Amino acid sequence: MHVGDFLSKQRDRELGMGRKITRRDFLNGVAVTAGAAVMPWDLFGNSEGASEEAREKSAGYYPPALTGLRGSHPGSFDVAHSLRDGTFWDSAGKPEDTGETFDLIVVGGGISGLAAAHFYRKAAGERARILILDNHDDFGGHAKRNEFRVGNAFRLGFGGTFSIESPAPYSAVAKGVIEELGIDVPAYSKYVNRNLYRGLDMRPKCFFDKETFGADKLLSNPMARAGGESDDVATPTALRLKEFLDEAPLADRAKLDLPRLFAESRDFFPGLSSDEKKGRLARISYANYLRDMVGVHADIIKMFQAMPHPLYGLGIDAVSAQDAWGFDFPGFAGLRLDPAPGKGMNRDSIPNEEAAKYFFHFPDGNASIARLLVRKLIPAAIPGSSWSDVVLAKANYAKLDESGSAVRIRLNSTAVRVKHVGEMTNAKEVEVAYARGNKVYIARAKNAVLACWHVVIPYICDDLPDKQKQALASAQKVPLLYTNVALRDWTSFHKLGANAVYAPGCYHTAFNLDLPVSLGGYECARKPEEPIVIHMMKTPCRPGLPARQQHTAGRIELYNTTFETIERKIRDQLARTLGGGGFDPVRDIAAITVNRWPHGYAYEYNSLFDSFWLEGGETPCEVARKPFGRIAIANADAGAYAYTDEAINQAWRAVGEIAKS
Ligand SMILES: Cc1cc2nc3c(=O)[nH]c(=O)nc-3n(C[C@H](O)[C@H](O)[C@H](O)COP(=O)(O)OP(=O)(O)OC[C@H]3O[C@@H](n4cnc5c(N)ncnc54)[C@H](O)[C@@H]3O)c2cc1C
């Protein structure tokens, strides 16, 4: 054996790559036994040859408990990709007419699609017949629930949409839905234990890796706003900064530059008004501002690079200096800018106190919102009666698509063609073809709401005007990995005094212990000896390219990375970061769920790359969401705003439009 092979096999053993963790082998999309492609629903123990329907109705069909590659899981996107490649209809066969007719067909079972069904039903009455199609094996879209059992402990994680939060206040419509579902947002402080980690002297840390910075080092994080989803920002004090600088593997000049940057009082644009300065900042990246205006050492730029990842899926090379100022990143004090938002600021970077107060995190994130909406639409599918008991309610997937039910959710079903029956101008119906299993089916409805990802729509709705198709195609979603790792305990975090780690050079650039929320009978981990879920985040980018190109490259990377590769990266990163606290990946990792979202956040406009956002004019999302006869268009993409409130707002608008058609 080659020495390199020997060493990498040895390292794999130390990392526990051979350890049995739940169903890892299957969820690569390849069955280890037969070498045949395996769909997630093949894992539910059904007999060979069973129909899609029989599989989904079997008692074992329970997607939230699956581990391995989730999010856009194997089997969920092949149909859409073959449509994109123009090959789908070559082998699709003649669609089979189900003979089913509905009042409304919704494409996309995320929060926007579920909210559209909810609004339609409120307007048309409870007997309105609605079919919701989604290509995934679970409903909720990005609002995804991950479940784990570690010993006797039951642990929840969020596989996508993390919380009720938005940079701007929720609209009356979106707030109305949250209130109708009964969610007590103002009572959040009753459920979250804000002092758990602080009380154990645990704080956000920064990990320098040897590949990027020359040495592996875990240090207290002196920078605010770089703690992932930890809800606990670091407070940069002079003492912490000194301790940090003493130990950090940074060049000597960078060590002088960092305190200077925090205290910067120079005005780099003397003679310009506040608005003119903001205009300049809107047109340069924060990385270039730091390098060219403030003149900091390259190590500082490397260290700051991943700070905007959680919101933009991009590093500071592709985030404007004006947005960085909005986030209170350092280096702007000397400019004395007035606090009003400047033209072209990203909505995420505009601080809003009222919005900041409206925050609620369920242990499974906004999957609880999706589940509460499903309970309203199909009560038998989600047992229980209160907003909080939904946290532990076990969904009955067999009830989602029942013939006697007015609302039906059909999973594992990709819409492949949506068109009016006859001429659009006088059509009375819309026909939707969808692929399910190896067949294509047709159902009809008076109207359709496309609440799916906008980039898909040009491929399924051929009759749309070209200008609208182009606008839809420009909504290049932001690719992300939301990885949940179930650990047998978190004593290593405790020993190191870390609850969150920012790791600018690592595969996952941030990870943190679960937010300690206990609710509806669900109990979070309280003692370091108890099992816990840690949440890790990666946004694959290509620094230097324009935003959309970075997202496209990142998306391709995510589709082409196997679970095994990601697992090795996770084990290696955790071992190196937490090894000093006694972390042993072989012993401590109980399960891994990688929520892969090649099509993640809705693309939000960026003053560096979208001139209309800075200079004014029609935005692509306004063109993209125009109604087309009996077909209306929803999804968070329709507002170019990656938040749940927008998914709901756009559903409301879309349903209003079909009411007029
Ligand atoms: C990792 C991640 C974290 C997030 N965190 C937050 C957060 O903390 N707070 C927040 O407010 N927002 C967050 N968001 C934004 C989130 O996308 C929205 O809040 C909201 O959940 C979007 O809902 P949606 O229905 O518009 O889209 P989606 O949830 O994406 O649902 C659309 C559905 O349509 C399906 N679909 C696509 N094409 C077809 C087809 N041809 N046929 C059938 N189905 C199809 C998709 O697969 C998907 O299931 C996050 C997003 C991601 C990806």
Q: Is residue 40 over pLDDT 60?
A: no
The residue contributing the CA closest to ligand 1 atom 20 is 644
In the chain, % of residues over pLDDT 90: 87
Q: Is residue 45 over pLDDT 60?
A: no
Is the Cβ atom of 382 under 6 angstroms away from ligand 1?
Answer: no
Atom of ligand 1 nearest to the CA of 452: 34
Mean pLDDT of 491-506: 97
Q: What is the CA radius of gyration of the chain?
A: 25
Mean pLDDT of 472-496: 98
Walk across the sheet containing 498-502 and list its strands.
68-71, 589-601, 478-487, 532-538, 510-513, 498-502, 203-208, 217-220
| Mutation to probe ligand 1, out of 119, 142, 145 (largest number of atoms < 8 A from CB) | 142
String of DSSP letters for 523-540 = ----STTS-EEEEEEE--
Is the Cβ atom of 113 under 6 angstroms away from ligand 1?
Answer: yes
What's the CA gap between 131 and 149, in Å, rounded? 33
Q: Which two tokens stand for residue 188?
A: 């959040």
Q: Is residue 36 over pLDDT 80?
A: no
Q: Is residue 308 over pLDDT 90?
A: yes
Q: Is residue 49 over pLDDT 50?
A: no
For residue 597, the cross-strand partners are 480
Q: Which residues contact 418 (CB under 8 A, 6 or more apart)?
A: 107, 430, 431, 432, 433, 448, 450, 460, 461, 631
563-578 helix and 3-15 helix, angle to the nearest 10 degrees: 70
Q: Identify the DSSP state of 580.
A: G
Q: Which of 75-84, 240-249, 336-345 has the lowest mean pLDDT?
A: 240-249
Q: Is residue 35 over pLDDT 50?
A: no
Q: Is residue 142 over pLDDT 60?
A: yes
Atom of ligand 1 nearest to the CA of 76: 47
For position 445, what pLDDT does the model report?
Answer: 98
Is the Cβ atom of 512 under 6 angstroms away from ligand 1?
Answer: no
For position 22, what pLDDT does the model report?
Answer: 54
Mean pLDDT of 593-614: 97
Contact 371, 390 (CB under 8 A): yes
Q: Is residue 604 over pLDDT 90?
A: yes
Atom of ligand 1 nearest to the CA of 113: 25
Q: Identify the DSSP state of 243.
A: H
pLDDT range class, residue 27, cuts 50, 70, 90: very low
- Could you tell me the CA-to-CA distances from 245 to 250, 281, 400, 509 in Å, in that order? 8, 28, 56, 21
- Give the CA count within 13 Å in the CB-facing half-sphere of 440: 18
Is the Cβ atom of 464 under 6 angstroms away from ligand 1?
Answer: no
Contact 648, 111 (CB under 8 A): yes
3-state secondary structure of 468: helix
* Burial of 328 (C-beta count, 10 Å sphere; 0-12/13-18/19+): exposed
In the chain, % of residues over pLDDT 70: 93
Mean pLDDT of 440-448: 98
Mean pLDDT of 302-306: 97
For position 32, what pLDDT does the model report?
Answer: 31
For position 13, what pLDDT does the model report?
Answer: 85
Q: Which two tokens stand for residue 574?
A: 């955790």
Among 602, 538, 595, CA closest to 108: 602
Mean pLDDT of 286-313: 97
The residue contributing the CA closest to ligand 1 atom 45 is 108
Mean pLDDT of 454-472: 98
For position 23, what pLDDT does the model report?
Answer: 44
Q: Is residue 660 over pLDDT 80?
A: no
Ligand 1 centre distance from Cα of residue 175 (Å): 18
Mean pLDDT of 42-51: 48
Is the Cβ atom of 647 under 6 angstroms away from ligand 1?
Answer: yes
Mean pLDDT of 8-33: 61
For position 222, what pLDDT does the model report?
Answer: 82
Is the Cβ atom of 161 under 6 angstroms away from ligand 1?
Answer: yes
pLDDT range class, residue 610, cuts 50, 70, 90: very high
What's the CA gap between 203 and 568, in Å, rounded? 26
Atom of ligand 1 nearest to the CA of 133: 43
Distance of CA 443 to the CA centre of its chain: 31
Q: Which of 219-228, 230-239, 608-617 has the lowest mean pLDDT?
A: 230-239
Cβ contacts of 545-550, under 8 Å, gap ≥ 24? 545/318, 546/318, 546/608, 546/609, 547/312, 547/314, 547/318, 547/603, 547/606, 547/608, 547/609, 548/474, 548/476, 548/603, 548/609, 550/313, 550/314, 550/318
Is the Cβ atom of 167 under 6 angstroms away from ligand 1?
Answer: no
For position 12, what pLDDT does the model report?
Answer: 87
Q: Which two tokens stand for residue 178?
A: 């949250």
For position 2, what pLDDT does the model report?
Answer: 72
Contact 450, 660 (CB under 8 A): no
For position 138, what pLDDT does the model report?
Answer: 98
Ligand 1 centre distance from Cα of residue 40 (Å): 20
What's the CA gap between 144 and 371, in Å, rounded? 10
Q: Which residues contact 412 (CB under 8 A, 6 or more apart)?
A: 39, 41, 52, 56, 75, 76, 135, 136, 137, 436, 437
Ligand 1 centre distance from Cα of residue 560 (Å): 21
Read off the pTM.
Answer: 0.94
What's the CA gap between 647 and 637, in Å, rounded? 8
Q: Which of 169-173, 352-356, 442-446, 528-532 has the lowest mean pLDDT?
A: 352-356
**pLDDT tens track for 189-211:** 999 999 999 999 999 999 999 99
Mean pLDDT of 603-632: 97
Is the Cβ atom of 640 under 6 angstroms away from ligand 1?
Answer: no
Mean pLDDT of the chain: 92
For residue 106, the cross-strand partners are 132, 449
* First-to-last C-alpha distance (Å) of the chain: 70
Q: Which of 37-51, 73-87, 307-321 has the lowest mean pLDDT?
A: 37-51
Mean pLDDT of 78-96: 96
Q: Is residue 630 over pLDDT 70?
A: yes
Q: Is residue 385 over pLDDT 70?
A: yes
For position 248, what pLDDT does the model report?
Answer: 97
For position 58, what pLDDT does the model report?
Answer: 93
